[in-house]
Structure 1
Amino acid sequence: MSDRLVDGYDLVVFDLDGVVYLIDKPIPGAAEAVGTLHAEGTAIAYATNNASRRAADVAALLTGMGVPASADEVLTSAGAAAVMLADDLPAGAPVLVVGAEALRAEVREQGLTPVERLEDAPVAVVQGYGPDVGWRVLAEAALAVRKGATWIATNTDRTLPSPRGPLPGNGSLVSVLRTALDRDPDVVVGKPSPALFRAAASRSGATRPLVVGDRLDTDIEGAVGAGMDCLLVLTGVTGPVDLLTAPPARRPGYVAADLSGLFAPADAAQLLPPDADSAGGWRLADDGGAVRLTGDGTPVDALRLLCGRVWDGVAPGDVRAGSDAARELLTSWGLPG
C-alpha cells in the first residue's frame, strides 16, 4: 500500500491564488499535480475567496492554463455570499454591490436586485474584491450601512499574491469601511470561515478531506476551524518565519514546498513534535535556552523540525546555526543565524 500523503484522503480542496496559480500564470507543477489526481480518480474541489470571478469563469481560467477543472468543482465566496443573501431576503430585494461584475451576476442569479446608490434603498451591502472599486461606491456603501443595511464581506484577505509581491486584497478595502463606520461587517463568508470547506466536502460526499493552501490566516485557519487536515505550500503568501510564529489556530499538520508534496510520503511533510531532534540531513540540539541547527538538507525539512521546538516556546531568534548550511538557511529566512 502506498504511503503518499494524498492516499490518506478522499477529497483534495485547493485554494487557487498562490497554490495553483499566481494571478494568470500556473505555478510550476500545479497542472501536472491536478492532472495526476484526476487520472487517479481523486475528488477535487477549488475553494477561493476571490469574488471577482464566477465558478464557470474560474474553471475556464484553470482549463486555459492546462489545469483540469469543471464549474461544479469550484466554490467561490461570491457565490456563497449571494446564496446567503437569497436565503435571508425576499425575492427582488435591492442589494448594494461593492466589487466586480461577477459578484453582481451572482446576486442577480439568486433573484436579488444589484444596486449602486443609497437612493436605491438597499437592504444589504455585499462587498468583494474588484480591481476597479473606488471611493464613490465605498461612500455609498458606508451610507447604506449607517442607514441599517446588513453588511456582508465575501472575505477579508488583506493581500493578494502576485509575481511582483503581495497586492491589496478585499480585506484592505473592507478596512476602509471598517474605519469609516467604526465597526466590523455583520458576516464574513469566505475563509477563514469553514463554510466553503464544509460545502466542498458535502458536495462530494467526502469523509476524509485534505485542504491545501498558502495562507495561514484564511486557508489553514479555515481548515482547522472545520476540523480538516491541511497542507501548507510555500508557493504563495506564507513564508517560513510566518509558519514558525503561527498561533495554534493557524498551524497546519503538513508543509511542503509545492504541490509535489501530495505525492511524497506523508511523514516527509508532517510537522514534527517538540522532542524531535532530526529531519532529513538536519539535526537539532538544545543550547541553553536556545537550540542549535546543524547539518544540511531541504528547507522544508528544517522548517518541519524547527516548528515543533518554536511552537513549544523557543523564540525564533534563539535558533542558532551550527553549520554553514544552517547559517545560510536561517539568514535567508531573516533570522540571525
Structure 2
Amino acid sequence: MSDALHAGYDAVLFDLDGTVYHGAQVIEGAPEAVGAVRAYGTAVRFVTNNASKAPADVVTHLVELGLDAVVDEVHTSAQAAAALLGERLPAGARVVVVGTDSLAAEVEAAGLTTVRKADDDVAAVVQGHSPETAWPDLAEAALAIRAGALWVACNVDTTLPSERGLLPGNGSMVAALRTATESEPVVAGKPQPLLFETAARSAGSSRPLVVGDRLDTDIAGAVAAGMDVLAVLTGVATPAGLLTAVPAERPTHLAADLTALTLPADDLKIGPRPGWEITTGDVLTVRGSGDALDLLRALCHAAWGSGVTEVRAEGDAAEAALTGLSLA
C-alpha cells in the first residue's frame, strides 16, 4: 500500500457532508477508506463547515455510521467563528447568535456573552446553519448588523448535501441577510484556510491531504492553505463544474469516492491519461477509449491549461464516455 495516495501524506483532512455521509446515510466505502488510512498510521482529522453540531455530537454521528472518531479529531466552522470573535472582541462582549445552541456554546467558551435579540450593546452577529432558523432570527441579526455590529458567518455553503438531495445551506440564509443589510460577513470557515491549518497543526502534520466534494469551499480552502486536495464526486462537485473550475478551485487529484485513497497516487492525478488523446483548438476534441474518470482528469488538465472548455468526441467510445460524464 506504499504507493497508495494516502501513504504520501502524514495526515488526511476529511470533509464530512457529501464526502463521508449524506445526512444520516454513510457514503458507501467511507468507513473502510478512513479505516485504511488509520491502519497505515496516518493521522485523521474531520473538518466540517457545518456549524450545527458540537464536536462531541459529530463524533457520535460518525460512530453511529461505523467510523472511529474522537473529539480532538473534529474541527468545525463554529469553533473557527468563535475563535475569530474571541480575537476581535473584548471579553464578555454581547453576540447575537443565529444558529444552534452548540454554536452559542462555542462562542461562550471563547469568553463572550450570547443573546438572541439585538440591543444597543450588541457587538457582533454570528451565523451558522440550523434547521430551526426563521424570519425572527434573521430580523434580529439584520437590526444588529445595520447598527454596526461585526457580522461573522461560519460558512457560506449555499447547499447542504443530505440523504434526500441538496438542501438550503447556511450560505442561503447568509444571502438573505446580505440582501437585507447590504453588508458582507467575515467568513470563518472554508474557503478560508484557517480550519485546514488548525486541523493540520493539531495532527502535527507538515504534509496533509484534504479530501472534499465542494469546489468553492473544500477545494478552495485547501488551495488557499497550500495543501494537496482530492476531489470526490459524491456530493456537490460535478464533471462540468470541474472542467470550468477557476484556478483557486482546482484539485490536484480526482476520484469517484473515498475508496480511491488506497489507489496509486499517480492514477488519480489531474493530467494526461493512458488511452485518451485530447486535441486543443476551438474545442477540446477527444479520441480513444478507457476509463471515464481518467478522461475527466485529462480533460481538466487540457481545459485548465488552454482555457477551452467546450468538448467534442470522435468515435463511439469517446462519445459514450462523455455522455457518462454528462459532458455530451
TM-score bracket for this pair, using the shorter chain length: over 0.9
Report the aligned-residue RMSD: 1.6
- Residue of structure 1 equivalent to 2:236: 237
- Residue of structure 1 equivalent to 2:245: 246
Q: Residues 264-288 of structure 1: CA distance to partner in whole angstroms, max 9, x if unpaired? A: 111100000xxx4xx24x3214275
AA of the residue aligned to 1:210: L
Shift of 1:315: 3.1
2:281 and 2:295 map into 1 onto residues whose CA distance is: 20
- Residue of structure 1 equivalent to 2:323: 331
Q: Residues 118-160 of structure 1: CA distance to partner in whole angstroms, max 9, x if unpaired? A: 2373211000111111111101101001112111000111111
- Residue of structure 1 equivalent to 2:283: 290
2:164 and 2:244 map into 1 onto residues whose CA distance is: 24
List aligned pairs for 1:43-58, cutoff 5 A: 43-58=43-58
AA of the residue aligned to 2:326: G
Change beyond 3 A, Cα 1:285–1:193: closer
- Residue of structure 2 equivalent to 1:30: 30
Tell me the TM-score normalised to structure 2 length. 0.95
Shift of 1:112: 1.9
**SS of residue matched to 1:50:** coil
**1:304 to 2:304 alignment:** no
Change beyond 3 A, Cα 1:120–1:62: farther
The answer to whether the Cα contact below 8 Å between 1:284 and 1:291 also exists between their aligned partners in 2 is: no
List aligned pairs for 1:1-337, cutoff 5 A: 2-119=2-119, 121-185=121-185, 187-272=186-271, 276=272, 279-280=273-274, 282-286=275-279, 289-313=282-306, 315-317=308-310, 319-336=311-328
**SS of residue matched to 1:315:** coil
2:216 and 2:97 map into 1 onto residues whose CA distance is: 25
Gaps of 5+ in 1: none
Tell me the TM-score normalised to structure 1 length. 0.93
2:291 and 2:278 map into 1 onto residues whose CA distance is: 18
**Which structure is richer in relative contact order (CA contacts within 8 A, separation 6 or more)?**
2
Q: Residues 161-192 of structure 1: CA distance to partner in whole angstroms, max 9, x if unpaired? A: 1233221111111011110111211x100000
2:280 and 2:31 map into 1 onto residues whose CA distance is: 44
The answer to whether the Cα contact below 8 Å between 2:276 and 2:290 also exists between their aligned partners in 1 is: no
* Greater Cα shift, 237-246 or 291-300: 291-300
* Greater Cα shift, 9-18 or 76-85: 76-85
Matched residue count: 328
2:36 and 2:327 map into 1 onto residues whose CA distance is: 37
The answer to whether the Cα contact below 8 Å between 2:55 and 2:74 also exists between their aligned partners in 1 is: yes
1:285 and 1:251 map into 2 onto residues whose CA distance is: 19
The answer to whether the Cα contact below 8 Å between 1:289 and 1:314 also exists between their aligned partners in 2 is: no
Change beyond 3 A, Cα 1:304–1:142: same
The answer to whether the Cα contact below 8 Å between 2:14 and 2:210 also exists between their aligned partners in 1 is: yes
**SS of residue matched to 1:329:** helix
